[in-house]
Amino acid sequence: MTKVRFAPSPTGYLHVGNARAALVNFLFARHSGGEFLLRLDDTDTERGRPEYEQGIYDDLAWLGITWDETAKQSARFERYAQAAEQLKAAGLLYPCFENEDELAAKRNALVKRKLPPVYDRAALSLTAEQRATAEAAGKRPYWRFKLSDGFAEWHDLVLGGRRIKFGSVSDPVLIRADGTPLYTFTSVVDDIDFGISHIIRGEDHVSNTAVQIDLFQALGAALPRFAHLPLISGGDGEKLSKRIGSISLRALRKDGVEPGAVCAYLARLGTNKDVAAGAMQALVEGFNLADFGRSPPRFDAKQLLALNRKTLHGLEFEAVRQRLPEGAGADFWAAVRGNLDLLTEARRWWAVVQGDITPPDLHGEEPVLRAALAHLPPAPLGPDSWREWTSAIAAATGAKGRALYHPLRLALTAEEQGPEMAALLPLIGHGRVVARLAPFSVYAP
């Protein structure tokens, strides 16, 4: 059975790159009738925070991504220790004692000789007596995995054929000196134990994949299929980082971007399909991993905003009711949604129809505005009031077109443009219309 996983570290808030990886895994699983595992790679106790963990749950739920199973690496240290013993028994996990300065000196020497800065496996030649002496001197070993000779080769479901020579890669450290297992190791053990069939992640993990293929085989496990998505870049071509708050999911949510727009955008970003608004179920049904190309796609905020606009315009009142200003009803939503780029902009229009405004200088427009006050239909104002009212004003003043409608919009909303006035007028109400036009009646004809 198809089973995938999304494995974030709770060391920061999710950004759009994380969201894309999570979404692609989710869509792949749901399209194939498989399972989606949410696994927290939470072994970094120094940078991990409970609020980041909760943020992961909140962000995924906001996007509409559900999971079938959860796991935490912090609960599996005993299992990692067992796997480590298996590798030690096979002679594939060996202790090292060099400190950072010593390792840096070795790397610099190799670079000067124009050689790959690969670990020289000096620790493999240490005798038992030398190891004991080092430990007696207070040194605690960290443990490296002895890579195979040759290379790792696989067919990537996005990038195509991949082949990486192990001679260009250092034996990876799997366990720190304090006994903490590292991602390269724990991820493989988890993927084996949870039966992950497909690993879909960013292209920055290609080198990790080569090492992990060797680890899978060393632990006697079958290999999953791999797919590496080219990394999203920003408008300037730079890679995205979860430390760039302006493109975090939290920031997008705060700004009023719709989760449906984010999912629709990310689901097709980097594919051969045009970005278009669509519900999650439609994204699931139309998903195909083969649609993704090999070139890094660019995150275009303007394109996302345009998609968000289309998404908003199609939302019914009940879908946004809880996020509108208190008191805003279906008539308000119907009036303003066609003019919104972001849902947060609805607050401004609620203030226009229900609050106090300061219109611009309308000197020279007094005749139209005095006539407007004089011919205002009686309360309550309804859907036909605007047409009837403007017809009466036009008959009284001879004004038409912009000369008629523009001063009325400015006096009643203080905005140059916006939703249809026929819909706004009943929301503003008879009393506010009178109050907003009254100041212009003091000017002499």
- pLDDT tens across the length of the chain (445 residues): 999 999 999 999 999 999 999 999 999 999 999 999 999 999 888 888 999 999 999 999 999 999 999 999 999 999 999 999 999 999 999 999 998 998 999 989 989 988 889 999 999 999 999 999 999 988 999 999 999 999 999 999 999 999 999 988 999 999 999 999 999 999 999 999 999 999 999 999 999 999 999 999 999 999 999 999 999 887 555 555 443 334 889 989 988 899 999 999 999 999 999 888 888 999 999 999 999 999 999 888 889 999 999 999 999 999 999 999 999 999 999 999 999 999 999 999 999 999 999 989 898 999 999 999 999 999 999 999 999 999 999 999 999 999 999 999 999 999 999 999 999 999 999 999 999 999 987 654 4
CB neighbour class for 322 (10 Å; exposed up to 12, middle 13-18, buried from 19): exposed
| Secondary structure (DSSP) of 257-280 | --HHHHHHHHHHTTBSS------H
DSSP 205: G
Please give the Cα distance from 299 to 234 (Å, whole number): 5
Across the strands, what pairs with 96? Answer: 142
Span 356-442 CATH architecture: Orthogonal Bundle (1.10)
pTM for this prediction: 0.88
Class of domain 1-97+141-314: alpha beta
Q: Is 188 helix (H, G, I), strand (E, B) or coil?
A: helix
Write the CA distances from 124 to 28, 96, 341, integer angstroms.
Answer: 43, 8, 62
* Cα within 13 Å of Cα(8), Cβ side: 27
Task: List the domain boundaries for the chain.
Answer: 1-97+141-314, 356-442
Q: Is 163 helix (H, G, I), strand (E, B) or coil?
A: strand
